[in-house]
Amino acid sequence: MDAFARKFRPSTRKLGLTGRDLPRFRIYTSDQAHTSAEKAAIALGLGEENVCRVPSDNEFRMETSILRKTVVHDRESGFKPLAVVATVGTTSTASVDPVAEIARLCREEKMWLHIDGAYGGGFAIMPEYEWIAEGWSEADSIIINPHKTLFVPLDFSVLYVRDIERLRRVFTLVPEVLRADTIETEKNYMDYGIQLGRRFRALKAWMIWRAFGREGILALMREHLRLARLFGEWVGASDDFELSAPVSMGVICSVDPESVRGWHNRPTTKRNKGLILTIRALLAPFWIPVADAASPLLMVQPTGLALQSPGTGCGRQKAFGG
């Protein structure tokens, strides 16, 4: 997005954004998206108030009709719509935004389309999940975190960019002391982002994929999803709980309706905490909790590392999760 902003104001690299007669840029994302959108706006100097949270539908996906109206309204109000962040696998419910529809709007309005597939993007390697990649070919950038779904140790993020040379034009800045290290025929990744020194992250990814192989990783992911569906079925059959969102990928959102009705009641809150702690203890060998104990919503994610039945115990991957 930084590169895209500089496309509209080419002198920004030298002069910056402050103290100049420039419009306020806007970034759009759903009300379910990760707060990394605000953090990016802060880092870019755009300000978190210029991240517009678009309401989601009853399946927790961004409402593209509202997005369109918001963009039109902002443009008429003197703002400059800059980018849309579409999410594939939101933190709370693993919902998937309608990327293809959003991509068409981005092309019409000349906005950057970034896909946050940090959690859900890894599922695209599964034939049965090819549908989540619809519209990806129109994206300007895509982020996927193999440390979330592909079993690579933390941290390992992959950024795909349509026009990588745009990044080089923005970030290349080679001091004399480093000129001996730059070879024109090779890519030096310090020229494509902020970071100068880098760890050799690729090695740990290679080792995981070499050890498990494509089919092994797919088998682990399918077991992960089987466990999620199984737990969803247990919740659906329960008289005490109900699903508060569709089961998508490895995230299950369940709610105790009585707790929601009495959310501000102290005895109910105490009961909530005790109930959630009990469930966590029962699921500890197989699941990783990703919600605060005070919440009436209990969100859990299966570890996905074992091919055995839950009754025989599963492995545990602490790095996994939102």
Contact 81, 59 (CB under 8 A): no
243 pLDDT tier (thresholds 50, 70, 90): confident
Whether residue 264 sits in one domain with residue 182: no
24-63 core/surface letters (b: 16 or more CB in 10 A; e: else): ebbbbbbebbbeebbebbeebebeeebbbebebeeebbbb
Asked if the structure places residue 322 within a domain, the reply is no
Whether residue 132 sits in one domain with residue 16: yes
Whether residue 228 sits in one domain with residue 177: no
Whether residue 302 sits in one domain with residue 170: no
Amino acid letter, 200: F
Whether residue 306 sits in one domain with residue 227: yes
Contact 102, 135 (CB under 8 A): yes
Whether residue 98 sits in one domain with residue 12: yes
Query: How many structural domains is the chain composed of?
Result: 2
Whether residue 138 sits in one domain with residue 14: yes
pLDDT tens-digit map of 19-66 = 777 888 999 999 999 999 999 999 888 999 999 999 999 999 999 999
Length of the chain: 322
What does the block give as tokens for 43?
A: 């880092």
pLDDT tens-digit map of 256-314 = 666 655 555 556 667 667 777 777 777 666 555 444 444 444 444 444 433 332 232 22
Q: Is the pLDDT of residue 315 over 50?
A: no
CATH number for the domain that contains residue 234: 3.90.1150
For residue 188, which phi and psi values (nearest 5 degrees)? -110, 115
**pLDDT for the residue numbered 107:** 95
**pLDDT for the residue numbered 248:** 82
Range of the domain at 248: 214-312
Whether residue 163 sits in one domain with residue 224: no
**pLDDT for the residue numbered 178:** 57
Asked if the structure places residue 287 within a domain, the reply is yes
**pLDDT for the residue numbered 309:** 28
CATH number for the domain that contains residue 52: 3.40.640.10
